[in-house]
Structure 1
Amino acid sequence: MPRAKASPPDDRGDLLSTDRTALRPLAERMRPRTLEEMVGQRRLVSPDSALRKAIEAGSVHSMVLWGPPGCGKTTLALLLARYADADFRSVSAVLSGLPEVRQVLAEAGHRFAEGRRTVLFVDEVHRFNKAQQDAFLPHIERGTIVFVGATTENPSFELNSALLSRCRVHVLEAVSPEDIEGALRQALDDSERGLGGRGLQIGQPQLHLIAVAADGDVRRGLTLLEIAAELAGEGGTVTDAMLEQVLADRTRRFDKGGEQFYDQISALHKSVRSSNPDAALYWFARMLDGGCDPGYLARRMTRMAVEDIGLADPRALQMAIDTWDTYDRLGSPEGDLALAQLVIYLASTAKSNAGYVAFKAAKRDVGEYGTQDVPMHLRNAPTKLMKELGYSKGYQYDHDSEGGVALDQTGFPDAMGERVYYQPVARGMELKLKEKLDALRGARAVRRGPPAGEE
C-alpha cells in the first residue's frame, strides 16, 4: 500500500474545538504542535537525527517510547500521526481491557483497507499482560497499525520479546530545569493557548523554582504555573508566599518496585561498598523522600553488613541488627536518624567480601564433588561397634597439640584434598585473621610435604 505523503501540522492542530480550549488544563493547551516546539529530547529529535528525518518524511515505524513521566511520550506519538497524515487512536493499559483493544484494532483494519494508516498509542504498555501484548503482533506485522507504546519501566523486563523484536525502542530523558523554564515562559507569552494577556507578574527566580520543582516533568511544571496563576488572579502578582503554598509537599520521581526503585537501591549499596558515606547518605535520603519502606532499607543494610563488610568489622552486623530493632521501636521520623547513622557507619568502616567469596566457592565444590564420605578420623564413635569399624581412629585432639592446632590432619574428604576458600583481606579486623591463617596454612603445607610425584 503506498504511503500517504507526510504533511506538517496546520492551524487545525488542536484536538478539540476553539470554544472548548479554555476548559482544558494549561499543560494540554500548550502541548507542542510541531517538532520545533518539543521541549527537551534534543538528542532524539534534533534536525539531524534518524527519528526526526523519518517523522518528517512520514516514514514512521512501530516503536516503544521509554522515559519518565512528562518527558513528551504522548506528544511525540501525536506528532508521528500528524506528520504522517495518519489517524491517531489511544488506549491506556490501566483503563482498557482486551475487548476494547480488539475493537480499536478492528477499526484500524477497516481504515487500512481504505488506504488510511493508524498510529495506535498504548499508554503504560508495560501494564498489559503477555496475552494482551500478543494481541498487537499480527497487526504490527501486517502494517495495519503503527504501534507506539509508552512506558516508564525498562522494556527489557516488562515487554514480551516478540513485541520488542517488532519495535524500535527510543529512550527519552527527563527534561532539564532550563528547558522546563523555557516552556513556562512560552506559556506566559502565548495569549492564544497560554497565560498571555492576563497581565500575570512572576519573577525569574520564581519561574526557576517551579522548573526545579517540576523534577523533569514538563506537564507538572505547567500545572504548578497554572495553580500559581489562579492564586494570583487576573493581572495579579505571584508572591513568594503563594509559591510556597503551590510547591508545598511536592514529591520527587520514585516508583516503589519499579526500575527507579532498583536503580536507587543499587546506588545506595554501591556507595556503601565504595566507602563514600556522603553519596550513600544522599541515596538513602532520596529513597526515604520517595516513600520507600524504612524497614526494607534496614533489611538491605543488614545484607550490606554481611556481604560487603563481613569479618573486616563484625561489629557492623550487630549494629545493623540493633538499628533495625531501634527503628521497629521508634518508627519514623525518630528511627530514620538511627538508619542514617547506620548508613554512615557501613560506608565508613573497613570492607571485605572474603566470607561471601569463600561461601560461594564452598558451595561450588559441594555441587562438583557430590556426596563425599566423612573421613574416618573425623567421625564420631559413641558405640563399641563404631570404634571397632575404625570410626574416629587417628583423630588428634587439637587442644592436646602444640600451639592448640593439630597440623597433620585434614578436614576434607579424601577425594578432595586440602582446599582454601577463605582469603582474608589485609583490612580491618581481618588483617589479624589473615596473619594467623597464613601461618597455619603454611605450617600445614610443610607437614604435608610436596604433592605426590614431586620432590
Structure 2
Amino acid sequence: MEPLAYRMRPTTIDDVIGQNHLVGDKGIIRRMVNARRLSSMILYGPPGTGKTSIARAIAGSTDAKFRQLNAVTNTKKDMQIVAEEAKMSGQVILLLDEIHRLDKARQDFLLPHLENGHIILIGATTSNPYHAINPAIRSRTQIFELQPLTPSDIRQAIERAIHDKDHGFGDRAINIDEQAMEHFVQAAGGDIRASLNALELAVLSAEEPVHITRQDAEDCLQKSSFNFDKDGDFHYDVMSAFQKSIRGSDVDAALHYLARLIEGGDLPTIARRLLVISFEDIGLASPQAASRTLTAIEAAERLGFPEARIPLAQAVIELCLSPKSNSGITAIDAALSDVRKGRSGEIPKHLKDGHYAGAKDLGNATGYLYPHNYPGGHVKQQYLPDNLQKARYYSPKDTSKSEAQFKQVYDNIKKE
C-alpha cells in the first residue's frame, strides 16, 4: 500500500490545502484551470508545501494526461516517450521535479514542445528559479512561489487523513490527544508530508483501539522537520536574516537564525558568513573582532558539531554587541565604482615601478618622497592620478574610539 502522504494527495484543485494566493477563489492557477487555459509554470518553495500536489490537482481538474519525471534520474529518452504521447493525445501535463538540474540537451529537447503547447510543463524546485534555472526555460514559463504552510493548514491535513474513509484512516477508530495533535502540527515545520508520515507511523504502530498520546507523537516525529536545503532559496533567506540580525544588534534573533543554520549542519557556510560579517558590518569600529571571529571559527571547525555551536554562539554575541561600521566596504566599493566607470587616470611618474628603487638613498632625486625619512612617517605628495586628486572614498564612522582615531589621522592628512 502507498504511504499515507501519497494517498492523501489532492485529485482536484478544490482539494489543495493552503496556497490560497495561487489556488484560492481568486488565485491565478485556479483561474487558469477554470478557463482551461493552462500554460507552463515553475513552482518553487520549501519541501512539503504542495508543489507535486498542485500539479496533480491541475491535471485532475482538467482531465489532462499527467506524467511525472525527475530531472536528476530521468533521461532524454523518458522525455521523448512523453512527447510522443503528447502528440497522440494532443496535450500532456508533465511534472518535472528538480527542474533546476535540467541539462542543456534535455532542455533543448523540451523547448519546441513547450512552444507548440503539446507539453504543459510544471517544474518543481526548492531553488530560486531566477538564480538556478536557465533563462530559456524561464522565458517560456510562469513562475509561482509557494509559501510555507501554516499550522492551521497542517491541522486540516491531519484531520482530513484521520476521517477520510477511502484514502486515510476513516475506517478506524482513532483517538488523538490535543497535545499530540499540537506536536504533529508544530514540529512538522510547515511540511505536510512530514506530519502525515508521522501520523501514519503512530497509527500503524499502535494497538487497538488506537490512542495517540503526546509521547507517541514525539516518538514518531522526534524533531522539527526543519526545511533546509543548502542549494535552495530558503537557505539564502535564513542566511540573509542571520546577517541582518547581527547588523541590527539583535542578539536573540541572530542566535535563532544561527540555530536554524546549525540544524542544517552546514558549518563551512556559517563560518564564511560570520567572517564576512566581522569585516563588512563591524569592520574598523572594532578591528580585533575579525581576528577573534576567525579564532572562534577555527575552534568550531576543530570541534565539529555539536560542540561547535559554543564558539559560534560566542562569536555571534560579540558581533551583535560590537560597535558597527561599514566604512571599509563602502570605501572599496566607491573606488571600484570609479574604476569600472573608466575613471582610472595616469599613475604619477614618481610612483611608477623603478622610481622606488633606491628612493631611501636618493631622496628627492627621483621625485618620490620617502615617508620614512620625514617626521611622523608622513610627507605630503601626490598619490592619486591627476583627474582623481579630489576623490574621497573613505568616510570614517564615529561609532567607536578605534575608528575615531583613524578619522583623526585621516582628516589631518587630508587637511595638509
- 1:233-252 matches, within 5 Å, as 233-252=207-226
Over 3 Å counting, the alpha-carbon distance change for 1:369 and 1:95 in structure 2 is: closer
Question: Is 1:338 aligned to 2:311, yes or no?
Answer: yes
C-alpha displacement of 1:326: 2.0
Is contact 1:62-1:147 (8 Å) kept? yes
Give the AA of the match of 2:294.
I
TM-aligned CA deviation for residue 137 of structure 1: 1.2
Query: Residue 97 of structure 1 aligns with which residue?
Result: 75
How far the C-alpha of 1:334 sits from its partner, in A, is 2.4
- Cα distance in structure 2, aligned partners of 1:406 and 1:34: 78
1:70 paired residue among 48, 56, 70: 48
Pair 1:233–1:375, CA change in 2 (3 A): same
Cα 1:234/1:381, change in 2 over 3 Å:
closer
- Indicate the residue corresponding to 2:381 in structure 1: 409
- In structure 1, the partner of 2:320 is 347
CA distance in 1, matches of 2:365, 2:169: 95
Amino acid at match of 1:303: V
Residue type of the partner of 1:123? Answer: D
> More displaced, 259-268 or 216-225?
259-268
Change in CA separation of 1:281 and 1:376 when aligned onto 2, cut-off 3 Å:
closer
Letter in structure 2 aligned against 1:281: L
Residue number in structure 2 paired with 1:5: none
Q: Which residue of 2 aligns with 1:368?
A: 343
Change (3 A) 1:405 1:284: same
Whether 1:166 aligns to 2:144 is: no
Equivalent residues of 1:91, 1:123 under 8 A apart: yes
The amino acid of 1:382's aligned partner reads: G
Change (3 A) 1:217 1:363: closer
How far residue 329 of structure 1 moved from its aligned partner, in angstroms, is: 3.5
Q: In 2, distance between residues paired with 1:436 and 1:269?
A: 31
Does 2:198 correspond to 1:224?
yes
Letter in 2 for 1:126: H
Letter in 2 for 1:138: P
- 2:414 aligned with 1:441, yes or no? yes
> Of 12, 21, 40, which aligns to 1:43?
21
The answer as to whether partners of 1:175 and 1:216 remain within 8 angstroms in 2 is: yes
Paired residues of 1:66 and 1:155 also in contact (CA < 8 A): yes
Gaps of 5+ in 2: none
Q: Distance in 2 between matches of 1:24 and 1:388?
A: 87
Q: Report Cα offsets for 1:107-157 as digits up to 9, x if no partner.
A: 211222xxxx32122122112112212221111111212222222211112
Determine which of 288, 291, 296 is the counterpart of 2:262.
288
Q: Map residues 7-22 of structure 1 onto 2, 5 A cutoff.
A: none
Q: Of residues 82, 96, 100 in structure 1, which corresponds to 2:60? A: 82
Query: What's the secondary structure of 2:343's corresponding residue?
Result: helix
> Is this contact kept in 2: 1:410–1:418, CA < 8 A?
no
Q: Kindly tell me: are residues 265 and 387 of structure 1, through their superposed partners in 2, closer, same or farther at Cα, counting changes over 3 Å?
A: same
Q: Determine helix, strand or coil for the equivalent of 2:194.
A: helix
Deviations 1:355-384 (A, max 9, x none): 222233445556632551343799546389
Please report the RMSD computed on the Cα atoms of aligned residues, expressed in angstroms.
2.7
User: TM-score of the superposition, structure 1-length normalised?
Assistant: 0.83
**Structure 1 contact 121–150 (Cα < 8 Å) conserved:** yes
SS of the aligned residue for 1:146 comes to: strand
Give the structure 2 partner of residue 299 of structure 1.
272
**1:124–1:149 contact (8 Å) kept in structure 2:** yes
Q: CA 1:316–1:142 in 2, change beyond 3 Å: closer, same or farther? A: same
Matched, 1:271 2:249: no
In the alignment, the residues of structure 1 paired with residue 78 and residue 233 of structure 2 have an alpha-carbon distance, to the nearest angstrom, of 29
Q: Which one is further off, 88-97 or 76-85?
A: 76-85
Larger Rg: 1
Q: Are residues 354 and 235 of structure 1, via their aligned partners in 2, closer, same or farther at CA, if it must alter by over 3 Å?
A: same
Q: What's the CA shift for 1:289? A: 0.8
Q: Which amino acid in structure 2 is aligned with residue 427 of structure 1?
A: T
- Shift of the alpha carbon at 1:298? 2.2
Distance (whole Å) between structure 2 residues aligned to residue 383 and residue 316 of structure 1? 37
Task: Please give the alpha-carbon distance, in whole angstroms, between the structure 1 residues aligned to 2:380 and 2:230.
Answer: 56
Percentage identity across aligned positions? 36
Do residues 28 (structure 1) and 6 (structure 2) align?
yes
Gaps of 5+ in 1: 1-22, 445-455
Equivalent pair of 1:68/1:152 in contact (CA under 8 Å)? yes
In structure 2, C-alpha distance between the alignment counterparts of 1:400 and 1:365, rounded to whole Å = 32
Tell me, yes or no, if the aligned pair for 1:59 and 1:84 is still in contact at 8 Å. Answer: no
Report if aligned partners of 1:206, 1:243 keep a CA contact under 8 Å in 2: yes
TM-aligned CA deviation for residue 408 of structure 1: 4.6
Report the TM-score, using the length of structure 2 for normalisation. Answer: 0.90
C-alpha distance in structure 2 between counterparts of 1:360 and 1:63, whole Å: 38
Q: Relative to structure 1, is the Cα distance of residues 140 and 353 closer, same or farther in structure 2, using a 3 angstrom cutoff?
A: same
Secondary structure at the aligned position of 2:22 is classed as: helix
What CA deviation, in whole Å up to 9, does each residue of 1:248-305 have, x standing for no partner? 2444000023222222222211211222222111111110011212x43223212211
Aligned-residue offset at 1:91: 1.3
The match for 1:423 among 395, 404, 408 is 395
- Aligned residue in 1 for 2:230: 256
Task: Output the amino acid matched with 2:358.
Answer: P
SS of the residue 1:256 aligns to = coil
Report how far residue 338 of structure 1 moved: 0.9
- Structure 1: distance between partners of 2:89 and 2:95: 16
Secondary structure of the residue aligned to 1:341 is: helix
Aligned length: 412
CA gap 1:52/1:336 in 2 versus in 1, 3 angstroms: same
Change beyond 3 A, Cα 1:49–1:306: closer
Query: CA, structure 1 residues 89+364, in 2 after alignment: closer, same or farther (shift >3 Å)?
Result: closer
Q: Tell me, what secondary structure is at the counterpart of 1:334?
A: coil
The change in CA–CA distance for 1:399 and 1:424 in structure 2 (over 3 A counts) is farther
Aligned partner letter, 1:430? E
Residue 170 (structure 1) shift:
1.9
Question: Kindly tell me: are residues 83 and 324 of structure 1, through their superposed partners in 2, closer, same or farther at Cα, counting changes over 3 Å?
Answer: closer
Q: Distance in 1 between matches of 2:366 and 2:35?
A: 85
Distance 1:383 1:61 in 2: 72
Q: 1:33-65 CA deviation, whole Å, 9 max, x = no partner?
A: 332221111121112333213212322222222
Distance 1:240-1:408 versus aligned 2 partners, 3 A rule? closer
